Amino acid sequence: MDYGTLIELEASNFPGNILEEGDQVKSLTINRLTNLIKMKYGKEADVDYKLNDFVLSELQLDEKDSRELEIMVSSHWRFSAEEGGITIAPAK
């Protein structure tokens, strides 16, 4: 393993810089999506939202965080915010 790369990432505040400043994600799997939500918003599956067959539902975020998440997932997932919370489902 190349520890130099890990040291460089730590010095650049990775993944904190992505969480704080946002970033384009090339591939956003369901696991990456749930990890992103956990790290950025402190929300966990089966506690703060439902996760069933690659569909995340009933996620509660304030308007600013909701919009931010929508922008991050827009090219990979179908995002909808309704009274019962946010639902994110596969785009296809």
pLDDT in tens, 12-69: 555 555 555 555 555 788 998 999 999 999 999 999 999 999 999 999 999 999 999 9
| pLDDT in the model for residue 59 | 98
45 and 51 in contact (C-beta within 8 Å)? Answer: yes
| pLDDT in the model for residue 52 | 95
Domain limits for position 70 = 26-90
Q: Please state, in angstroms and rounded to a whole number, the distance separating the CA atoms of residues 40 and 37.
A: 5
Mean of the pLDDT values across residues 72-81?
A: 88
pTM of the model: 0.70
Q: Determine if residue 11 is left, alpha or beta; phi over 0 gives left, psi from -120 to 50 gives alpha, anything else beta.
A: alpha
Does 6 fall in a domain?
no
Q: Please state, in angstroms and rounded to a whole number, the distance separating the CA atoms of residues 75 and 62.
A: 21
Does 37 fall in a domain?
yes
For the chain, how many structural domains are there in total? 1
